[in-house]
Amino acid sequence: MTTFYYEISNLIDRAQVKCLYFINNVVDKEGNSQFENLSISSIDDSFVRTLLEVAANSIYGSLAPYSRDLDELETPLEGFEFGVDYEGKSDCIVFRIIETEKFDDTVTKPLENSIKEALINYVVHEFLYQSNADGSTFKKLYEQNREDILSYINRRINLKRNYKLY
């Protein structure tokens, strides 16, 4: 079993920084910067949490087929939890999967990273969208992350045909 966990406060910090660097060069028609309108700050924490929950649920949709057997373990576990304590870290998003026999575990780290980036990019895109700004760059990144997640989780080693090609 592999567990991926992410501290929500850490994800929010990263989303704040990513959003700040993006809007650094965004100005209105009069040349005024848009930091006060578009930046994510602690005021927006509860809204950003709801965005993270939406994104996490959606991502879990891709991981869910690999978490079906978790409830059959000696100690049954959930495949997805939001806002729970894990390994001494408080307020985390937790995903658990049970790898298939031929799962390529060299992609565990890239998979972990893609999930994290998907969560962050979704937050930044949605936040900018709700603030009436164009964050489509982050939407594309999010979609790419989702594709990567699918690609990594379905990667296998030693796949051999048991039939002949003619």
Q: Report the interface residues with other proteins, using CB under 8 A.
A: 10, 13-14, 16-17, 20-21, 24, 31-33, 35-36, 39, 41-43
Output 32 or 100, the one with its CB closest to other proteins. Answer: 32
Nearer to other proteins, 58 or 86 (CB): 86
Nearer to other proteins, 43 or 165 (CB): 43
From residue 66, how far is each of 18, 23, 150 by CA, in Å? 31, 38, 12
Order of strands across the sheet that contains 2-7: 2-7, 89-97, 80-86
Token pair of 63 as six digits: 């991981």
CA dist 136 and 81 (Å) reads: 28
CB of 60 to other proteins, least distance (A): 25
* In the complex, minimum distance from the CB of residue 93 to other proteins, in angstroms, rounded to a whole number: 16
